[in-house]
Structures are given as structure tokens and as C-alpha cells.
Amino acid sequence: MTANPGLPATAWHRALFDGTFRAVTRTLPVIAPATGAVIDTVGEAGRDDVEQAVTVARAAQREWAAQTYDKRVAVLLRAARLLEEDPDRLGSWLVDEAGSGRGKAEFEVGLVTTELQESAALASHPYGEVLRSAKPRFSIARRVPVGVVGVISPFNFPGILSMRSVAPALALGNAVILKPDPRTPISGGLSLAALLREAGLPDGLLHVLPGGGDVGAAIVAHPGIPCLSFTGSTAAGRTIAEAAGPLLKKVHLELGGNNALLVLPDADVQAAASAGAWGSFLHQGQICMTTGRHLVHSSRAEEYLAALVHKAEKIPVGDPADPANALGPIIDVRQRDRIHGLVTDSVRSGATLLTGGEYTDLFYRPTVLADVGPETPVWKEEVFGPVAPVRTYDTVDEAIDIINASEYGLSVGILTSDAYRAFELADRIESGAVHINDQTVDDEAPIPFGGIKASGSGGRFGGATANLDTFTETQWVTVQSEIARYPF
């Protein structure tokens, strides 16, 4: 789907979703970052829409939870099949609306499909255990739905970062109120709603409310939404945690990262540079797992930098509607200017710009910086752009200390010819994920994904155990054949 100044006749045009697409008076333009064209207009939600959604969702959820699990399985598997049959129904919007390269969009559609399939399997997963009791009774602990789950998702991987909460929450008998990022309301919400509706999801179980911070705040504050699933910046996560804490809600936060790639002196440098380029530049670096720090042994740094610069300079950047372009635009001017500010501030503070550091419109060139230190802005902060800062080290102990000095703890890659040695080093690294002989960007539906320190709080996303912990409560039930006798 390419930019259409006449605007397409989509189901969600000027509408929100509450089981059906409901037209509203407030609207939100959907802008393609590659061209600046308005490619659709969707409904914009307000606080009143949150209130209405909660009322409808709570009623629908009770009936949904009472159904046998196979009904939920059927909907999710049907949605997965529909997406497999027509991946462009989501992929085209990822290209136009989110600025995704074709390869990234195809990869993300695959993740969404897998998430639907894995969540369908979750619906039939054992949901309790029989407990021993000192009394003559049957004692069980079982998982029950939390009720209504509030999901707030970001712009960078909008399809999967919405669906990885929506699908398991629905599979486990909950209703969902989803607020996608207002820059990606279609690929992050409305197109997913259309998919699930076509797959047979009953009305009222999923609500998609595009909007700004006021809608997110209303979701966080509403007493009828006991569980919150948020993916976004650490700063926003702290605000949500502060607001939700006094309300005693279940809060699950997947936040930012400043992820390190450790290149040990025995690594294949050419292969390492390839992994490093992918980790830093994929989707213009707009990924929480992006390789934000390259840590290379001083004996291999010159070779690594030369290889990384060579790869960066050969990456085509432009409108992702053209399959020849591997990288697309930064999401908006504000984010582009933040990236460029961090790069220029870093050069002023002593870093050496080896390539990149320039842009045309929203297209930012892959950038490599050398001579960075612990206080260099691009090293210290999460850039969220196609920037690869490279720092050297002399000993492995020094490298581990540098990695752990970051406030973040999301993902780390270790590149070496001795994989078991790297496995032993993983014990010393403060990170939610460690990838040996791979870069930092990776995720799969069956694994419990998340970070530590400033990269996450409240549990994990994905995997049967993590999803049960996130989207259900534990209920203890005892049964005995006769009324218990007491001395009163």
C-alpha cells in the first residue's frame, strides 16, 4: 500500500474499534514518515472512550472466560491462517506507516503469526496444580483471568509489540483495551483488530483506542483495568509505575536498553562487524534491543572499525516502498533531531565520526563513532537511531565492568571462537538476555523476554509460564465432602 492522497476506504477510516469499527468525530492523521503524505485518517480516542470500553469489555470478558478453551484456540489459529494467507494486510502498513524496510516488515509479520499460534497453544496449557493439604480435602491452585488488560504499545515494532500482549491475554480469557502509538495506530492496533474480528473474535473483547498521553493515563488510572502491559521508554515506564503503584495493579514494563556487543580478541572480525552492523542499523536502530555499544578488544579495534564503516557505507537508505532500500526513515522529526543532537554532542566531546552523522529529510545515514568514553552521549544514552559507538578494552574483566556500568540490562551479545568461555562470562553479566555468537536483537514467541534494572520490571513477555504470571491471578480452591466442624 503506497501513500494515497485520496485516502483509502479502510474499515478503520475515522473510526475506533470496540468489536466493530465505530466512527467518531475526533480524528488522527496517519502520516508516512518516508514521504510526509497522509495515508489514512483514523479515530482519535478520549477519556470518555476509555470509560465506555471498560464497561463493554468487562461484560464481554465474563462470557469469554466462561467458554471452553477450544473456542479461544479456534479464533487465534484462524487469525494466524488469515495472516499467513495475506501477509501484506499488515506488512504493507508496516512499510508505509512505520517506515519499515521490506525485510523487517516481513520478519515482523512472521513474529505476529507465530505469536498467534503460540498463544493458541497457551489456551490449552495446564492452568493449575493439585496441592497437598494437612486436612482431609481436595486442594488446588488454579489460574484465573485478571479480567481486563490495558496494553500500551510503541511505534517501532508496532504489530508484534501489540500482539505479544493482546494474543496471550485473549487466549487466557481476558478482554483487552489497546492504545497503540498515535504514529502507528493501524499497524499497531486497527489492522490487528480487523484480523481478529475476521477470525471470529466476539464483540467487545478487544478495543483499540488510538490517542495521546491522556488516553494512556486514563487506562493506567481506571480501576476496572487491573493489569497493565506497557512497552516503551524507561522514562514513560517510570511514570506509569508511579501512577499505578498506589492502585496496586499488576504492571508489566518492557523498557529501554543500551545493549552491548562484546567482541573478544579471538573473534572473526569480519563476521563480528556484520553482526554489529545488523544489530545497530536494523530498522534505523529504532529497537529496544539495538546494539547501542560496541566493545572491542584494543588489538582488534582498527580492523573492526574499518569493516563496520565499510558495511555502513554500503547500506542503501530511502523510501522503504522501494525494496532496494534496506533502511527507511526515522519515525519523525523530533526523534531525528534527538539522534543528530546526540551524535553532534558526542563529536564535540571528543568522539571521532568515521561515517554517517548526516541526513536528508527523515533518512539518517548509518553512523559509526570511534574514540568514545563512558561519558560520551551516544555511549551513555539510548540513542534509538542507526548509530554504532565503538569503545575499546584491554581485559575481559574491564569489559564486563563496562557492560554492567550501564543503568540498562536488556540484551548483550558476545562474539568469540570459544562459545563455552562466553557462556561462563554470561554468569557475570547483568542482562535479561545474553546471545553468544549473535548480536543483541532477537525475540521469539516461546521465550520469556524482558530486561532487568532500568530495562524492565514486573515479569516477562512470552512463554507459557511468563504469560500465565502476567495475564492471570492465582486462586486457591479447597473442597471437602462435609462441612468442617469447629468448637464455636
Q: 69-106, pLDDT tens digit by residue?
A: 999 999 999 999 999 999 999 999 999 999 999 999 99
Instruction: Write out the catalytic residue numbers.
Output: 254, 288
Cα–Cα dist 290/271, whole Å = 18
Alpha-carbon distance 403 to 173, whole Å? 41
Q: Give residue 461's pLDDT band: very low, low, confident or very high (50, 70, 90).
A: confident
Q: What cell was used for 5?
A: 492522497
Look at residue 463 and tell me whether its pLDDT is greater than 90: no
Nearest CA to 260 out of 385, 408, 48, 58 is that of: 408
Give the whole-angstrom CA distance, residue 286 versus residue 276: 15
Q: Tell me what the mean pLDDT of segment 181-201 comes to.
A: 98
For the question of whether the overall pTM of this predicted structure is more than 0.75, the answer is yes
- Can you read off the three cell numbers belonging to residue 50? 476509555
Single out the residue of 198, 97, 205, 210 nearest to residue 157, CA to CA: 97
DSSP string for 297-348: ETTTHHHHHHHHHHHHHH--BS-TTSTT-SB---S-HHHHHHHHHHHHHHHH
Closest among 440, 156, 116, 139 to 278, alpha carbons compared: 440
Among 213-217, 297-301, 358-362, 455-459, the minimum mean pLDDT is found in: 455-459
Q: Residue 6 pLDDT more than 80?
A: no
pLDDT tens for each residue of 306-320: 999 999 999 999 999
Q: Which CATH class is domain 259-436?
A: alpha beta
Whether 3 shows a pLDDT value over 60: the answer reads no
Rounded Cα gap, residues 8 and 39, in angstroms: 7
| Residue listed under C-alpha cell 534527538 | 338
The confidence score (pLDDT) of residue 421 equals 95
Question: What nine digits make up the cell of 161?
Answer: 509489540
- Output the pLDDT for position 217: 97
What single DSSP character describes residue 402? H
Convert 2-29 into a string of H (helix), E (strand) and C (coil). Answer: CCCCCCCCCCCECEEECCCEEECCCEEE
Q: Which amino acid is at 324?
A: A
Nearest to 96 by CA among 34, 185, 153: 34
Q: Which residues of the chain form CATH 3.40.605.10?
A: 15-255+455-476
Q: What is the pLDDT of residue 2?
A: 42
Is residue 179 within 8 A of residue 153, CB to CB? The reply is yes
- In the predicted model, is pLDDT for residue 112 greater than 90? yes
Q: What angle do CA 8, 10, 13 make, to 5 degrees?
A: 95
Residues of the chain with CATH 3.40.309.10: 259-436
- Cβ atoms of 388 and 281 within 8 Å: the answer is yes
Tell me which DSSP letter residue 156 carries.
S
Give the DSSP H/E element, type plus range, for residue 352: strand 352-355
What share of the chain has pLDDT > 90, as a percent? 96
The grid cell for 131 is 496441592
For 337-369, how does the pLDDT look when each residue is reduced to its tens digit (9 = 90+)? 999 999 999 999 999 999 999 999 999 999 999
- Res 462: pLDDT: 87
Query: Over the stretch 388-438, which tens digit does the pLDDT of each residue have?
Result: 999 999 999 999 999 999 999 999 999 999 999 999 999 999 999 999 999
Cβ neighbourhood burial of 331 (10 Å; 0-12, 13-18, 19+)? buried
> What is the C-alpha separation between 474 and 252, in angstroms, rounded?
17
C-alpha cell at 134: 494437612
- Note the pLDDT of residue 4: 46
List beta partners, residue 176: 149, 206
Can you give the pLDDT at residue 346?
Answer: 98
Fold of 15-255+455-476: Aldehyde Dehydrogenase; Chain A, domain 1 (3.40.605)
Q: What is the pLDDT of residues 280-307, one digit of tens each?
A: 999 999 999 999 999 999 999 999 999 9
The DSSP bridge partners found for residue 389 are 369
pLDDT digits (tens, 9 = 90+) for 21-38: 999 999 999 999 999 999
CA angle 51-56-60, nearest 5°? Answer: 145
Q: Return the pLDDT at 7.
A: 59
**What is Dmax (Cα atoms) for the chain?**
84
